[in-house]
A and B are shown apart, each in its own frame.
Chain A
Amino acid sequence: MTKKTVAVIFGGRSAEHDVSIITAHIPIIDSLTASGNFDVWPIYITKEGDWYADKVMNDLSFFKQSNYTDVLKGKKKVHLLFDNGLELILPGFPRWASPTGFSRERKVRIDVVFPAMHGTYGEDGSLMGLLRMAQVPFVGCDMAASAVAMDKAFTKQVLLAEGVPVVPFVWFTKSGYEKAQQSFLDKIAKLKYPLFVKPVHLGSSVGMTKVKDKKGLENAIEVAFHYDDKVLVEEGVENLTEVTLPIIGNETVEFAHVERPLNKSEFFDFNDKYLSGGKQGSGMHTQYSEIPATISEVQATQVRELGEKTYRTLGCTGIARVDFLIDNATQKVFVNEVNTLPGSLYVHNWKKKGVSGVELITKLVSLAEERFAAEQGLTHTFSSEILKRVSGSKVQ
């Protein structure tokens, strides 16, 4: 059987750069390799935006070297060619420098791209746009869904418009806030404390602050603006049960278990998610969460229904994870946010559902191909007379 060539793109100019490295390896590259059905090309984007492709990077231990950035500097950067598909160009000796006049430059045609980037310039739709231009199937949500989901405020606006319950919120940009700070503070004053102040484009709880009273609000906004130029302030739910639902699929969707993070600190922060507990190096650890969540079957059903509605409203495909807030006092369920590339794909949850890492990854690759094939059937161009009718000098 011919192996499919899959490029896994990770790293990038994002606050979640290191998380992306973990996701790319555990479980994506490890599972692609374990299946034996794929030729895996890791494409790593440095924090500075340099692109490298070298199979030594298929091993996570490469990135555990303290000097891996220096090692990379000694390598040649990869070039990309968009030629009705995507090709990697791995530079060898330039023709003029080769004693035999023979260039050892190598081209690798990519069958499917597996984006494994979190946050800006990757999960936010930028990379997806690039891959659409390249006409190559890619795993996960498409450009529009990724861009909407990346903006927590925009997501809430879209969901609200479609009747999906979300907690009351206020959003503003940095320039807007600087111009009309009091007006936004007045709007915020109408919200009930405690509040959460978040940069709208960042995940993994980076730059997020829980504010218990007015005192800490401005400082929290300042912290959030340190990471982003758009900030969301939303009501926190007291007596809260936080749950999350990983979903995969295109036309038909499959759910993993409803999972409940077991908060150790005041809110579920970066360290809880990626660094706490666990010894297997699985990236995402089971100790911090309860799978399946011990919520009532009625609530679990509501979570799944809202999850699917959210997934479809945003136009998600491939994979996403929808986070929920359950108010224990009122039993109300709110959609909190959508993550189009869940950290480590929430493989720990899928495994408990009976889907192995290899099965999950293989399914995601076929969903990518399915969506790509469906798109190829659409008409994107049509013949028009417009050029002939335009006034001005005619081509002879």
Chain B
Amino acid sequence: MKNLLSRYHPRYVRSLVYMMQASEYHIRDFLRWFWRTRDFLRVEQRKSLVKTPKSLLFLIAGYAVLFFLYVFAFGMLVVAEESWKYPAFLLTAFVAPYLLVDFFIGLMVLSRIVQIPVEYGILVHAKRKLKAHKGFRIAIAGSFGKTSMREILKTVLGAGKRVAAPPGSYNTPLGISSFIRSLGGDEEILVFELGEYYPGDIRRLCKLVAPDIGIITGVNEAHLAKFGSIGETRKTIFELAGYFRDRPLYINGENILARTYARTGDILYSRAGAGEWRVEDAKASLKGTLFMLRNGPQRIQAESHLLGLHQVGPLSVAADIACKLGISTERIGLGIQRTKPFEHRLEPKTDTAGVITLDDSYNGNPDGVRAVLEFLSSLKNVRRWYLTPGLVEMGAKKEEVHMDIGRELARAHIDKVVLIRNSVTPLIEKGLQEENYKGEIMWFDRALDAFAALPNLTVKGDVVVLQNDWPDQYA
């Protein structure tokens, strides 16, 4: 009853607008959230509505529509004399929140129609500006690891060249265009992350940025709910290969799907090396990753602050590209030394009590989870914690992926597994039980409760991984 009544609370309109904004005004994503949500008063948990002209317009229009509907309903009650006015009043009052959703969908469609020519103009302008730009362009596609690859390239190549890359998650045509607009023109290398949300996305972005080198970081179940099948995901990501035709791509050899579809001549990279560079004596600890890169007589003693051996492959790619672009081995070594964990991606933080938290809250894909677990299990003589709400958008693979996580947690002998109650974490528990997990499982209703509890559960030296964080639209 409380949940039903939340649709009639004044805050309902704001919750809808917030969620439209969080879903980037994608009707399908917004509707998925709407039909899944029960309590519309507990929506803005992690973030809150950002007041932009668009969100304010939706907010004002929403309240106006609701006001009109209720005035209409009461008007009927007062003015009409027929007996049907009572059921008509009740019906209008009851369906008003649902009519509001229909109104918002109409408004989103309308705003999309209005935006099309505007966006087209922005894209044409960006394309023209980029065409005149002399910078060497690198494009990165993949279900996971794109941002890490972008940041590694930016840092390593940055030790010898002027490098620019879009900030944050600017990986859509509009985001990239806005980045292009900000370019000064003197950049020597441009690194682009290509976001894939629907088939054709990568092809469109390739046309926009016209890359000179392409990298595929891997294909997995991320965004599977959007693509429907892993085959569709693979095809979309490999649109990058289509763009390059017979020119080679760097492909993550540690990812089975990407490796399977690599073409002859493509450069497979892994923790064993990339291109002409071979990796020796790789070691990972909480301080970082050490390894030797060897290419004939050339040697680079690589010392990165990035955590985990899975970082060695991307670092080797950066070294190989840097070498091809004429950057000296000394500068490459310096660039690698400058690489450090990125925000919310296996980012270590030590609190005053001496508890080490590895914030991997932006990592929500099965390969990323495997890499983190491999690293966590390599740490000895510490209590290892793993906190997760599970992964989102796994579509039909939901059960398989989460049970696998449970099994891998058990095999990695993680001491404490903290799970957030939702539709997927019982599957992780099932996987843990199947593998006879001997550690402790703790449950929390909300991630925020778990975060608040952790300082009271941990002691000096404990290592806590925060794996993935569900944005409000999935909660």
Partner-B contacts on A (CB < 8 A): 27, 30-31, 33-36, 278, 280, 282, 285-287, 348, 351-359, 361
9 A-B interface contacts by CB (under 8 A): A36-B442, A36-B443, A280-B455, A286-B352, A287-B352, A352-B354, A356-B459, A357-B455, A361-B456
A154 to B454, CA, bound (A): 41
A359 to B453, CA, bound (A): 12
Contact of B460 among A27, A282, A351 (CB under 8 A): A351
Residues of chain B with a CB closer than 8 A to A358's CB: 453, 456-457
Whole-angstrom distance between the Cβ of B462 and the nearest chain A Cβ: 8
Which residues of B (227-278) have their CB < 8 Å from a CB of A? none
Residues of chain A with a CB closer than 8 A to B455's CB: 30, 280, 282, 357
Residues of chain B with a CB closer than 8 A to A287's CB: 352
A354 to B458, CA, bound (A): 8
Interchain CB contact under 8 A, B457 and A348: no
Interface core residue of B355, B456, B457, B461 (most chain A CB under 10 Å): B456
CB < 8 Å A-B pair total: 57
Is B281 an interface residue, CB under 8 A from the partner? no
Contact of A352 among B353, B452, B457 (CB under 8 A): B353
Is B351 an interface residue, CB under 8 A from the partner? yes
Known contacts A30-B452, A34-B452, A36-B443, A285 near B352 by CB under 8 Å: yes
Whole-angstrom distance between the Cβ of B372 and the nearest chain A Cβ: 23
Interchain CB contact under 8 A, A355 and B459: yes
A359 to B351, CA, bound (A): 19
Contact of B352 among A31, A282, A355 (CB under 8 A): A282
Residues of chain B with a CB closer than 8 A to A352's CB: 353-354, 459-460
Known contacts A355-B459, A356-B458, A33 near B453 by CB under 8 Å: yes
- Chain A, Cβ-Cβ closest to B454: A34
Interchain CB contact under 8 A, A356 and B456: yes
Known contacts A34-B452, A36-B442, A36-B443, A356 near B457 by CB under 8 Å: yes
A31 to B457, CA, bound (A): 7
Whole-angstrom distance between the Cβ of B434 and the nearest chain A Cβ: 24
A357 to B454, CA, bound (A): 9
Residues of chain A with a CB closer than 8 A to B442's CB: 36
Contact of B457 among A34, A278, A280 (CB under 8 A): A34
Interchain CB contact under 8 A, A278 and B353: no
A286 to B186, CA, bound (A): 49
Known contacts A30-B452, A36-B442, A351 near B457 by CB under 8 Å: no
Interface core residue of A34, A36, A355, A361 (most chain B CB under 10 Å): A34
Interchain CB contact under 8 A, B459 and A286: no
Query: What is the 8 Å Cβ interface bit string for chain B, positions 443-475, against chain A (1 contact, 0 not)?
Result: 110000000111111111100000000000000
Whole-angstrom distance between the Cβ of A301 and the nearest chain B Cβ: 22
Interchain CB contact under 8 A, B456 and A354: no
Residues of chain A with a CB closer than 8 A to B355's CB: 351
Known contacts A36-B442, A36-B443, A357 near B456 by CB under 8 Å: yes
A359 to B459, CA, bound (A): 10
A132 to B44, CA, bound (A): 47
- Chain A, Cβ-Cβ closest to B462: A356
Residues of chain B with a CB closer than 8 A to A361's CB: 456
Whole-angstrom distance between the Cβ of A58 and the nearest chain B Cβ: 11
- Chain A, Cβ-Cβ closest to B450: A34
Whole-angstrom distance between the Cβ of B439 and the nearest chain A Cβ: 15
Whole-angstrom distance between the Cβ of A27 and the nearest chain B Cβ: 6
Which residues of B (403-457) have their CB < 8 Å from a CB of A? 442-444, 452-457
A354 to B443, CA, bound (A): 22
Whole-angstrom distance between the Cβ of B19 and the nearest chain A Cβ: 26
Residues of chain B with a CB closer than 8 A to A357's CB: 455-457
Interchain CB contact under 8 A, B353 and A286: yes
A353 to B462, CA, bound (A): 12
Whole-angstrom distance between the Cβ of A356 and the nearest chain B Cβ: 5
A357 to B456, CA, bound (A): 4
Interface core residue of B351, B444, B460 (most chain A CB under 10 Å): B460
A33 to B355, CA, bound (A): 20
Q: Which 5 A-B pairs have the closest CB atoms?
A: A34-B453, A357-B456, A34-B456, A31-B456, A352-B460
- Chain B, Cβ-Cβ closest to A59: B452
